[in-house]
């Protein structure tokens, strides 16, 4: 895993592989870069893939206090570290982070936001703990709505 230092000093890890135009992948809340493993080989046939670990997940460190704007900066930092225009594909809450990053860098050539959360979803530092508690109680449906006011 390679690492870059985000604006606030947090180390953001990413896995690089493949050949071709750059493609940065941003996972959702309940994952790390390994979420992309089922499709990684296919992507790497056509792209140089940079699958990042969002802060506090996988190989990335974290810095308190949490603010969503730091996650925007993290994605923009990875994009800028690649050098040149990149394609950016993001899933779930990672799509929110990628959209925020698009306002912080001019290096995004194409932006694909896959299954972003519904309007009103709010991730907070305790989101993962609430989700884990629901899972521990067998409430998988509750996890799907965790943090969503709808």
Give all domains of the chain, ordered by start, each with its CATH number: 2-117 (3.40.50.1820), 119-150 (no CATH)
pLDDT digits (tens, 9 = 90+) for 92-120: 999 999 999 999 999 999 999 998 876 66
Backbone conformation region of residue 44, classed left if phi is above 0, alpha if psi is from -120 to 50, else beta: alpha
Among candidates 13, 19, 27, 111, which has minimal Cα distance to 60? 13
pLDDT digits (tens, 9 = 90+) for 21-76: 999 999 998 889 999 999 999 999 999 999 999 999 999 999 998 888 999 999 99
Band of pLDDT at residue 142, cut at 50, 70 and 90: confident
Return the structure tokens found at 29.
Answer: 């809340």
- Is the confidence at residue 123, as pLDDT, over 70? no
Residue 137 burial by CB count (10 A; 0-12/13-18/19+): exposed, middle or buried? exposed
Q: What is the pTM for the complete model shown?
A: 0.81
């Amino acid at each position: 895993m390679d690492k870059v230092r985000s604006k606030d000093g947090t180390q953001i890890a990413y896995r690089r592989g493949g050949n071709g135009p750059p493609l940065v992948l941003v996972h959702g809340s309940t994952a790390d870069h390994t979420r992309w493993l089922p499709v990684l080989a296919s992507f790497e046939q056509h792209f140089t893939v940079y699958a990042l670990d969002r802060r506090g997940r996988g190989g990335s460190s974290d810095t308190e206090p949490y603010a969503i704007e730091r996650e925007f900066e993290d994605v923009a930092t990875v994009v800028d570290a690649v050098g040149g225009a990149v394609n950016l594909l993001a899933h779930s809450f990672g799509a929110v982070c990628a959209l925020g990053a698009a306002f912080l860098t001019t290096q995004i050539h194409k932006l694909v936001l896959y299954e972003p959360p519904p309007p009103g979803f709010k991730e907070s530092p305790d989101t993962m703990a609430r989700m884990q508690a629901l899972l521990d109680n067998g409430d998988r449906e509750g996890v799907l709505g965790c943090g969503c006011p709808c």
